Structure 1
């Protein structure tokens, strides 16, 4: 299957988990949670990289957007 890990939870949480043992597959729930967290952190890192890249781009001269929009309209 894979490598094992262990976690510690307070006794009251363990007790509540045991009550739901037949209804909840805790191993699967925890695996899915970990997968989602990994995906979330990767997406956050990618977003931070994109933001840093955009912030590093040189600023366009004032009026550039207006000129480009005007050119686009003229071409249609």
Structure 2
């Protein structure tokens, strides 16, 4: 099962920054597909999101069309 990975960056002035790698977001998570709401609840605590997207086109399966990186970011934003 995929789980978030947490890390803490500690600065010399005692500030801390918690970083989470949230794997497993799939199209339809907002409607509870895949890890769905269990995944998205981790995003509730987030102040800043950084998406890392493969610049190659993406194809979910042979029966689906290829999607550009821009389309993938738009779909992730819709699900979030």
Higher helix share: 1
The higher radius of gyration belongs to 1
- The bucket for the TM-score relative to the shorter chain is under 0.3
**TM-score, scaled relative to structure 1:** 0.19
Higher strand share: 2
Could you say which structure has the greater relative contact order, defined with CA pairs below 8 angstroms and 6 or more residues apart? 2
